[in-house]
C-alpha cells in the first residue's frame, strides 16, 4: 500500500530524462555558437552584423530552455531525496507495527505517526508542484513562437522535446519536418518546403487520429497528397481526436481544437504571406476546421470539408476570395447523418441547402485521399492565385 502521492523512483526517472534533454541542449548550444562565431569571424558589414545578432538571439532562447530544464532537474532531485526519506520512514513504522503486535497502547501512536507521514507526503507534493510552476515555464512548442527558425532547426528542436511516439513516427517519415510537438503526443508535420511554396495544404485529421495507428495512417495520406499534388502538405495532428465514430458526437474536442488550428494557420500565413492556403478537414477534422472558421475566422483561401458530420452554420475564411467546398463519397455512411436541415454538428455541408458546391466521389469514408477526382479538385484550388 502506498500512502504517498509521489514515488522517489518515478521522480528520479523523470529527472534522468530531463538530464538527457539538458545534455542535448548543451551540445546543441555549443555546436551552434561555434558555427556562428566561425561563420562571421572574417566578415563585417551592417547586414552581416545584423544576421549575427539574430543568430545570437536564437541561441539566447535556446539557452533559456536549457536553464529551465536545469531548474526542473534540481527541483526533481531534491524532491526525490526527500521522498526517499519519507518512504524509508514509512517502512520503519510498518516494521514497528509487526514488533508491537499484542503490546497495549502502541497501535494508536503508530497510526498517528503514519497519518503525519502521509500529510508530509502531500506537503512535499504541493511544494514540488509549486516550485516547478514558479521556476520553470511551459516550453514553447507552437510554430508561431519560433518564427526565426528554419525547417531543419524546427525539426531538430522539436525532436529533442518530443515524446517517444512522435520520435517513432518521425523515423517512419524521414522526408517530413516536425513543425510542432508536445508532451501530450500532439504533432504537426510538414511534407515539402512550406517557406517558399506558392500553395500549402493543411490536413485536419479526424476520428481515431490520436492513436499511433491513426497518426501513421494520416501521415501516409499527407505524404500521398504531397506526392500527387507536388505542393507542400501540413499534417495537423494537434488535438485529442475522438477515438471512435460514437465518440465523434461530442463537440468538446472540436471546440478545444479551434484555437490551436487558428494559431497554426496564422503562423503559416506569417511564415509565407504569398502562399495560397488550403485547409482540408476530413471526417471529424472537418468539424474542427468548421469551428476554427467561426468568430475571428480561419486563415485559409479554400476550405474543403470531406466526409463531414457537420459544421457551424456561418463560416469565415480570412481571404479576399474565400471558397468552401464539400465532398462526399457515394458509399460514405457519414452521408446518412445529415439532412437538408441539420446534422450531428450544425449543418450538413454536403446538403443542397448549405449553399456549398459539392463534389461526389466513388468510395467510402477513407477513400477521399486516393480518389482521382478529389485530388484533381484539390489541385485546382491549390493552383488558384492567393486570395
Q: CA-based angle 94:100:103, to the nearest 5?
A: 150
**β-sheet bridge partners, residue 180:** 188
Nearest Cα residue to 237 out of 256, 262, 218, 221: 218
Question: Per residue of the chain (387 residues), what is the pLDDT tens digit?
Answer: 678 999 999 999 998 988 888 888 788 778 877 777 777 777 777 766 777 777 777 777 777 777 888 888 888 999 999 999 988 998 888 888 777 666 656 677 778 888 888 888 888 887 888 788 776 555 556 788 887 788 988 888 788 778 889 999 999 999 999 999 988 899 999 999 999 999 999 999 999 999 999 999 999 999 999 999 999 999 999 999 999 888 888 889 999 999 999 999 999 999 999 999 999 999 999 999 999 999 899 999 999 999 999 999 999 999 999 999 999 999 998 877 777 677 777 899 988 888 899 999 999 999 999 999 999 999 999 999 876
Cell of 333: 455512411
DSSP state at residue 136: -
Nearest Cα residue to 385 out of 269, 270, 227, 277: 277
Q: CA-based angle 350:355:357, to the nearest 5?
A: 60
Residues in the chain: 387
Predicted pLDDT at 205? 96
Amino acid at each position: 500500500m502506498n500512502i504517498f502521492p509521489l514515488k522517489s523512483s518515478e521522480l528520479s526517472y523523470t529527472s534522468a530524462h530531463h538530464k538527457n534533454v539538458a545534455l542535448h541542449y548543451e551540445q546543441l548550444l555549443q555546436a551552434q555558437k561555434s558555427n556562428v562565431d566561425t561563420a562571421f569571424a572574417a566578415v563585417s558589414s551592417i547586414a552581416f552584423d545584423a544576421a549575427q545578432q539574430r543568430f545570437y538571439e536564437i541561441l539566447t532562447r535556446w539557452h533559456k530552455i536549457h536553464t529551465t530544464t536545469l531548474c526542473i532537474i534540481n527541483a526533481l532531485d531534491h524532491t526525490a531525496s526527500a521522498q526517499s526519506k519519507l518512504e524509508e520512514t514509512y517502512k520503519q513504522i510498518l516494521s514497528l507495527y509487526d514488533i508491537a503486535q499484542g503490546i497495549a497502547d502502541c497501535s494508536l501512536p503508530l497510526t498517528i505517526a503514519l497519518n503525519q507521514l502521509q500529510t508530509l507526503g502531500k506537503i512535499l507534493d504541493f511544494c514540488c508542484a509549486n516550485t516547478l510552476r514558479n521556476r520553470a515555464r511551459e516550453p514553447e512548442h507552437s510554430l508561431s513562437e519560433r518564427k526565426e527558425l528554419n525547417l531543419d532547426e524546427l525539426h531538430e528542436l522539436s525532436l529533442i522535446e518530443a515524446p517517444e511516439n512522435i520520435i517513432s513516427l518521425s523515423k517512419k517519415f524521414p522526408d517530413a519536418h516536425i513543425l510542432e510537438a508536445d508532451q501530450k503526443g500532439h504533432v504537426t508535420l510538414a511534407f515539402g518546403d512550406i517557406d517558399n511554396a506558392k500553395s500549402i495544404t493543411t490536413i485536419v485529421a479526424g476520428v481515431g487520429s490520436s492513436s499511433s495507428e491513426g497518426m501513421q495512417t494520416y501521415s501516409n495520406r499527407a505524404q500521398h497528397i504531397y506526392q500527387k499534388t507536388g505542393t507542400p502538405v501540413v499534417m495537423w495532428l494537434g488535438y485529442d481526436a475522438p477515438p471512435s465514430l460514437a465518440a465523434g458526437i461530442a463537440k468538446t474536442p472540436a471546440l478545444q481544437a479551434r484555437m490551436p488550428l487558428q494559431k497554426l494557420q496564422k503562423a503559416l500565413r506569417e511564415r509565407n504571406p504569398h502562399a495560397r492556403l488550403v485547409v482540408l478537414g476530413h471526417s471529424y477534422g472537418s468539424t474542427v476546421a468548421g469551428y476554427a472558421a467561426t468568430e475571428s475566422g480561419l486563415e485559409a483561401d479554400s476550405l474543403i470539408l470531406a466526409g463531414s458530420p457537420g459544421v457551424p452554420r456561418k463560416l469565415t475564411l480570412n481571404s479576399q476570395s474565400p471558397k468552401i467546398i464539400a465532398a462526399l463519397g457515394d458509399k460514405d455512411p457519414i452521408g446518412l447523418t445529415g439532412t437538408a436541415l441539420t446534422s450531428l454538428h450544425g449543418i450538413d455541408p454536403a446538403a443542397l441547402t448549405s449553399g456549398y458546391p459539392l463534389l461526389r466521389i466513388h468510395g467510402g469514408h477513407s477513400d477521399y485521399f486516393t480518389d482521382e477526382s478529389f485530388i484533381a479538385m484539390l489541385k485546382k484550388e491549390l493552383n488558384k492565385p492567393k486570395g
